[in-house]
Structure 1
């Protein structure tokens, strides 16, 4: 019976002693993989980034523009946010880049939407961290309506010229 003792210092500076026993070649193979995993474990890092709750990302049409709001619950290691937009027939494209701030509440006004009536736009936030890792929010849709004029009847138009 052979005994392998693996001693590894973990990130929190506590010594953990792990003792593994094996009786056959198959168990030895499993132990080799386990030893490899333990040797690369300190190299693995937790990806920290912004956390945007589902109800913390909204958009709505207002006065011919689209107002986009989002708030984060954490912004660890965030480099910037990218607001992306698409239509029903196009892919997502970058609309704006926003740097993180300490108040964790963000808004952006998209003034470059088509000024036609009843278009549906889809938005998402791309989160880029300082290590280059990227994550996305769920996409949300906005019905953009620019109909602000009052319907006129023939009688009301004639009344304007009297």
Structure 2
């Protein structure tokens, strides 16, 4: 409600934002939920679900080794059509050091334009070499 000195009655101002169906507009595709990433053994799994994929020819996944590091191409998935769920398995991450990784998704359209996600999402991942080393240390004290 807004009331200025010159107004005799208050007025209601409504602020609208883009909501499509039950999802939200995120980097060119309409997603049901915010994408997530989680560590699963020797890989990191990146998951997302879409509502609308009009004119999208592929989804590219990018990984960064931290907030101050650049994003590098990790792989891609082809679109499956509206209302689809995607799961990208980053198996190259186990070859790197353990740490916190950020991921983002790029939507590539049929006219070769692309939109990067403005929100990156992260995961803490323990590499397989660190897991084996920790297991070896525990075995020494049994």
User: Would you say same fold, with TM above 0.5?
Assistant: yes
In structure 2, the gaps of 5 or more residues are 1-27
SS of match in other structure, 1:152: helix
SS of match in other structure, 1:132: coil
Taking the aligned partners of 1:115 and 1:79, their CA distance within structure 2 comes to 29
- 2:89 maps to which of 109, 113, 129: 109
- 1:79 maps to which of 57, 63, 86: 57
SS of match in other structure, 2:44: strand
Taking the aligned partners of 1:116 and 1:98, their CA distance within structure 2 comes to 22
Query: Are the equivalent residues in 1 in contact too, given 2:43–2:94 (CA < 8 A)?
Result: no
Instruction: Report the RMSD for the aligned CA atoms in angstroms.
Output: 2.4
Please say if 1:99 is aligned against 2:86: no
How many equivalent residue pairs? Answer: 107
Taking the aligned partners of 1:67 and 1:120, their CA distance within structure 2 comes to 14
Query: Are the equivalent residues in 2 in contact too, given 1:116–1:145 (CA < 8 A)?
Result: no
Larger Cα Rg: Structure 1 or Structure 2? 1
Query: Are the equivalent residues in 2 in contact too, given 1:59–1:142 (CA < 8 A)?
Result: yes
Encode CA deviations 1:100-124: one digit per residue, 9 max, x unaligned. 0035111111110144664111100
Any runs of at least 4 consecutive aligned residues in structure 1 with deviations exceeding 6 A, and if so which?
none
- 2:47 maps to which of 60, 69, 85: 69
Which structure has the higher relative contact order (CA within 8 Å, separation 6+)?
Answer: 2
Structure 1 length normalisation: TM-score? 0.58
Structure 2 length normalisation: TM-score? 0.65
Encode CA deviations 1:103-151: one digit per residue, 9 max, x unaligned. 5111111110144664111100000111222212210111002436272
Alignment of 1:32-71 (within 5 A): 49-53=28-32, 55-71=33-49
Instruction: Name the structure 1 match of 2:123.
Output: 142
Encode CA deviations 1:21-75: one digit per residue, 9 max, x unaligned. xxxxxxxxxxxxxxxxxxxxxxxxxxxx42225x331110011210111111110
